[in-house]
Amino acid sequence: MATVPLLSDEDAAPESRAVFDRIRAARDTDYVNNFWRALAHDPALLTATWDRLSTVMAPGALDPLVKELVYLAVSTANGCAYCIHSHTAAARAKGMTPAQHAELLAVIAMASQTNALATALQVPTDDRFQES
């Protein structure tokens, strides 16, 4: 259970309800997921978060599926259960195949173990990696 009640359309303030409508329009669905209904207690935070997300995840130099894979990888490293579930679903909706999912998992696992080793050994950064 969330630390705040999830707000239905009826209970949400008009500004939050307007964001719900923009979410529905952007995703072409009637469904507004729990994250936004929890955020809706603060219409300003809801608006800022949705607007920024829409901008950041739009197609650009990286394609939307790659962005979802990165999002899922970060959510995993941060241990956010909700985000892992919702972004695994989002990645599938954007075309992630089982083979891509499997390779994503393998990369996440690989990075996690070499991150731990480099940290445990406190390896100094090579000069050549310092030149930006």
List binders of a second copy among 21-80 (CB under 8 A). Answer: 31, 33-35, 38-39, 41-42, 45, 48-49, 52-53, 55-57, 60-62, 66-67, 69-80
Q: How far is the C-alpha of 57 from the C-alpha of 49, rounded, in Å?
A: 12
Residue with tokens 């990645």: 91
Per-residue string for binding with a second copy, 80-109, x by CB under 8 A? xxxxxxxxxx-------xxxxxxxxxxxxx
Cβ 40 to a second copy, closest distance in Å? 11
Distance, in Å, from the CA atom of 129 to the CA atom of 50, rounded to the nearest integer, reads 36
Q: Which residues in 45-62 are b (16+ Cβ under 10 Å) and which e?
A: ebbeebeeeeeeeeeeee
User: Binder to a second copy among 3, 10, 28, 30 (CB under 8 A)?
Assistant: 3
Report the residue number, 4 or 21, with the smaller CB distance to a second copy.
Answer: 4
Q: How far is the CB of 25 from a second copy (least distance, A)?
A: 19
How many amino acids of this chain bind a second copy (CB under 8 A)?
A: 83
Q: Whole-number minimum distance, CB 64 to a second copy, in Å?
A: 10
Cβ neighbour number for residue 19 with a 10 Å cutoff: 22
Applying CB under 8 A, does 14 fall inside the site for a second copy?
no
Assign residue 20 a region: left if phi > 0, alpha if psi is -120 to 50, beta otherwise? alpha
